[in-house]
Structure 1
Amino acid sequence: MRNMKGLRHQAVLAIGQELNWRAVGDPSPGWMGQVRRRSSLLGPQLEATLCSDQELSYIRQGEVAMQKALGILNNQEGWKKESQQENGDEVLSKVVPDVGKVFRLEVVLDQPMDRLYEELVDRMEAMGEWNPNVKEIKVLQKIGKDTVITHELAAPAAGNLVGPRDFVSVRRTKRRGSTCVLAGMATHFGEMPEQSGVIRAEHGPTCMVLRPLAGSPSKTQLTWLLSIDLKGWLPKTIINQVLSQTQVEFANHLRKRLRSSPARGAQC
């Protein structure tokens, strides 16, 4: 048992060193570079939350997803506008090597950051109540205070041209200063096998970044990087339309939820 504990301690330090090496060589400017560097600082304190090597693996997956997603967002080259709404909501896209086409939603919400965090993280399992594109989200396992394994069942889309999909993902949350990052990617969880009649799709590296709007701390700038492999036989035109429209609809549904549902005073 002492040997196992020592090995896990070494593994945690090795992960921290690996991700710190990536962050040191990262030229990311401003707030994003700060989040990428600080989110890489895994310390021995994580050991206290580890019950198995599998949990350590999930934590590593979550950290890698966060670094990859922030790296994609940081690269400002190649983004093309998919849609622009009258209220200022904007969806952009670009093709990323080894990832595929990704979509980026930029919106400003008339709510403080803690309120969004409460809805998107603390009340994650209630998302099916207000987002018609999501039938259900369940937390399958919680690892420490920052990492969870989730199962998400998505509703059919594009007039049922895109049938039911589900996702098993590792999600990791970080707050650094005034910025919150919610990141994730597909993972394997033995207790949630593929279901009959539902295609198991995969999230990409993906993330949401929440930060106060400059000059208006009561408002929040939300950036959502969406990367999904829907699997199955679907034309790219339909996939692109569904994913960009999903982001626009998400912003609209989230606004309605924030207006209609009272805050519980959660802190990020």
Structure 2
Amino acid sequence: MEYTEVARSAADKLLSYSKDESGWKLCKKSGEIAVHWRPSCEFSGNLYKGEAIINANSEHVWKCLKPEPHGLRVKWDSNVEDFQIIEAITDDISVCRTITPSAAMGIIAPRDFVDVVLIKRYEDGTIASNATNVEHTGCPPQRNFVRGFNHPCGCLCVPVPGEPEKTQLLSFFQTDLSGYLPKSVVESFFPYSMTHFYNNLIKAVKNLKV
């Protein structure tokens, strides 16, 4: 029951982030992709928001984003080395482990994250993946990885009214990478990483539609 409550709380926070326009500052813009930030209320770092319009319907976009073992996302998302389900709690809630490769020319070592993930569909057609860090006896910290911590984060595939083949993708990240990383490295990594995420997703969606 605890995992369920934590997951639902993360989903509520993600929805509130998507509706709250206050305090955001633009930190990177690349074409139609924009990344904003503001101080996180969850930890000492920042909350980042990415947004872009994807030229595909929300179901197509969701196929590429869906967090699942051996799914499409592991193939196109260069920030995801592996994705594992540790325990299925309900049909739409699971405890998962995500492994990320080294980054920033090796300054950021490989990491793993253990999160409870809730997949939620809203009445307006929005499909959301919501996650936040949890502990699980089936996945203690491992020697070869730095254990990072995701605070409420995820993606929302929002249908564009009157444009059935367009989706507004909102993504939110507030991640404690842990370890001894300079603040400047962390703050430059996330905007770059999120822009790269969107560009790779756009390519993956095009390939799926072909």
C-alpha change, 1:124 and 1:250, in structure 2 (3 Å) is farther
CA deviation string 1:17-63 (max 9, x = no partner)? xxxxxxxxxxxxxxxxxxxxxxxxxxxxxxxxxxxxxxx11111100
1:129 matched residue in structure 2: 75
Q: Which residue of structure 1 lines up, in the alignment, with residue 116 of structure 2?
A: 170
- Secondary structure in structure 1 of the residue aligned to 2:137: coil
Question: What corresponds to 2:13 in structure 1?
Answer: 68
- State which of 173, 177, 182 in structure 2 corresponds to 1:235: 182
C-alpha displacement of 1:82: 0.7
Instruction: Give the aligned length.
Output: 207
Query: Displacement of 1:74 after TM fit?
Result: 2.5
Partner of 2:168: 221
RMSD of aligned residue pairs (Cα, Å): 1.6
Equivalent residues of 1:168, 1:187 under 8 A apart? yes
Task: Tell me the CA shift for residue 124 of structure 1.
Answer: 5.6
Q: What is the Cα deviation at residue 207 of structure 1?
A: 2.2
Which structure has the larger Rg over C-alpha atoms?
1
Q: Of 125, 134, 143, which residue of structure 2 is paired with 1:196? A: 143
Larger mean CA deviation between 203-212 and 252-261 belongs to 252-261
TM-score normalized by structure 1?
0.73
Matches within 5 A, 1:4-15: none
Q: What CA distance in whole angstroms lies between the structure 1 residues aligned with 2:207 and 2:161?
A: 25
Amino acid at match of 1:117: W
How far the C-alpha of 1:234 sits from its partner, in A, is 0.9
Q: CA deviation at 1:79?
A: 0.4
Q: Which letter maps to 1:145? A: D
- Rounded to whole Å, the distance in 2 between the matches of 1:242 and 1:172 is 26
2:157 alignment partner in structure 1: 210
TM superposition shift of 1:153: 0.6
Q: Which runs of 5+ in 1 are unaligned?
A: 1-55, 264-268
Moved more, 96-105 or 164-173: 96-105
Q: Label 1:236 to 1:161 Cα distance change in 2 as closer, same or farther (>3 A).
A: same
Q: Deviations over 1:235-261 (max 9, x none)?
A: 111101111111111111111112223
Q: Which residue of 1 aligns with 2:61?
A: 116
Aligned with 1:161: secondary structure?
Answer: coil
Gaps spanning 5+ residues in structure 2: where?
none
Alignment identity in percent? 23
Aligned mate of 1:155, from 81, 101, 120: 101
Determine the C-alpha separation between the residues in 1 that align with 2:75 and 2:174: 23
Partner Cα separation in structure 2 for residue 198 and residue 162 of structure 1: 11
Decide which of 239, 255, 260 is 2:207's aligned counterpart.
260
Give the partner amino acid of 1:94.
R
From the two aligned structures, give the one with the greater helix fraction.
1
Q: Secondary structure at the match of 2:181?
A: coil
Aligned to 2:85: 139
Contact 2:68-2:85 at 8 Å conserved across structures: no
Checking the alignment, whether the CA contact within 8 Å between 1:125 and 1:139 is kept in structure 2 is: no
